[in-house]
Amino acid sequence: MTAERADFATSTAPADVVRRQYLASAAGDLEALRTTLAPDVEWTEMAGFPLAGTYRTPDGVTANVMERLGQDWSDWTAHDDTYVVDGENVVVLARYTAVNKATGKPIDVRVAHAFVVRGGRIVRFEQFVDTAKVRDAMG
């Protein structure tokens, strides 16, 4: 492992923590994902989204969001492409791609994620997405 890679793996910089969360999610590594979340994390999926609601604790987030996405969708991926960082606040412009297992319909939808990172952990997450496009693929 290079020094740069080791620094990224342990960095508490907000953008690095958020990036590690995306990498863990894409790899399906829920244990690594949980390590990016604060014990009292508040994770909000947008109203109208199939998993709408606010989830707390790292286990609550992975069980109610990541595991459920894997049950309903093939190859669910959040492609993070633009980061806007202001102190502990990180906004990521991204897109979701996946195929709904029940309908076979794909999605490719833009999304914005707002994170707050403190002490090297994500303490808050809020999702903004075109929920109609996601629901269309489900029905």
Domains assigned to the chain: 3-138 (3.10.450.50)
Return the residue matching tokens 């020094």: 3
pLDDT, position 54: 98
- pLDDT digit string, tens, across residues 71-112: 999 999 999 999 999 999 999 999 999 999 999 999 999 999
pLDDT tens digits, one per residue of 46-74: 999 999 999 999 999 999 999 999 999 99
Residue 70 neighbours by CB distance under 10 Å: 15
- HSE-up of residue 31 (Cα within 13 Å, Cβ side): 0
**What's residue 9's pLDDT?**
79
How far is it, in rounded angstroms, from Cα 99 to Cα 73?
A: 5
Q: What is the pLDDT, as a whole number, of residue 3?
A: 55
Mean pLDDT value across the chain: 94
Q: 126 and 45 in contact (C-beta within 8 Å)?
A: no
Query: Which range (4-8, 37-41, 46-50) has the least confidence?
Result: 4-8
**Mean pLDDT across the stretch 9-31?**
94
Confidence of residue 1 (pLDDT cuts 50, 70, 90): very low
Q: Strand pairing partners for 39? A: none
